[in-house]
Structure 1
């Protein structure tokens, strides 16, 4: 059952207008991620994936992360649209966050841009920003979207959203 979308303000977009299957797009944004008091990535080479009911998931080049920030993590998962995912442990400033990032090394057709990119769970980092604005993590333990002021929900992962 689809919930009622939140009202839009000027310059905002609703996650309920995002497509399914998802769409990938390059965006003119600067993403900065901090862990353990250190900047582990600062890049303006950003793509996002938009999917109905989810805040955008931002993918950054693996090569943009500081040396040693990403190490293979345990486990894997599968997305019906993007394909098989692998996980990374993320390190910064003496801190370690297990399975805090993921990528699609051999993505499905239409998502080839993701092959050398990684997405990071904002909830596991000290701080993630887009254009200097701190993001909020998507609710729930599984989802990795970044919520910014220009995106409105309700968002998948909130209590009661299992059937969306």
Structure 2
């Protein structure tokens, strides 16, 4: 007998208030757009990345994932791993370990090394999982990490869900 995972039905989107976006209004397939908001990543007391020239990827049911230009990332704290994945829309990416002082975090950053044509501007930009870091910020607001172990979205007060990533959301 085969056992198939149970999926919850598509949730009811939360209506956005003024100044908010619903992730259910984001497109599928995903798109990217520039942002001039200050993006910061802090690990073990060190600012790993800081930029006003980030890019955010928007996809239905996901909070934005933020990408930081390589020149705005402290490379001495990152070590490339052999792990790679492929996104059907964004292309092939590789992962990085982050080590700051005595703290080592495996595969908590990634960059697209062979992006698809619509995502060519993400080439070599870095994204970080917010959960393992001390803090990540967008426009001075501390973000909440997207649930789950796979997606790298950052939740702020400007986006409403519900968000994909937690238990029962795989089929959304």
Tell me whether the two structures share a fold, i.e. TM-score over 0.5: yes
Could you list the per-position Cα deviations for residues 67-112 of structure 1 after superposition, in whole angstroms to 9, with x for gaps in the alignment?
Answer: 4121102311110101111101112243211100111111001100
SS in 2 for 1:111: helix
User: Quick one: distance in 2 between partners of 1:58 and 1:149?
Assistant: 15
Q: Which residue of 2 aligns with 1:71?
A: 79
CA-CA distance at 1:42 after TM superposition: 1.5
Aligned to 2:21: 13
Equivalent residue, structure 1, for 2:135:
127
- Which of 2, 15, 19 aligns to 2:10? It is 2
TM-score by length of 1: 0.95
Larger Rg: 2
Task: Supply the distance in 2 between the matched residues of 1:95 and 1:39 (Cα, whole angstroms).
Answer: 14
How do 1:4-43 and structure 2 match up within 5 A?
4-43=12-51
TM-score by length of 2: 0.91
Equivalent of residue 106 in structure 2, options 85, 98, 106: 98
Q: Deviations over 1:110-161 (max 9, x none)?
A: 1001112011000111100111110000000101000000000000012210
Structure 1 residues 81 and 67 mapped into 2: Cα distance closer, same or farther (>3 Å)?
A: closer
Stretches of structure 1 that go unaligned for 5 or more consecutive residues are none
In the other structure, the counterpart of 1:161 is 169
RMSD over aligned Cα atoms: 1.1
Runs (5+) with no aligned partner, structure 2:
1-8
- Structure 1 position 23, deviation (Å): 0.8
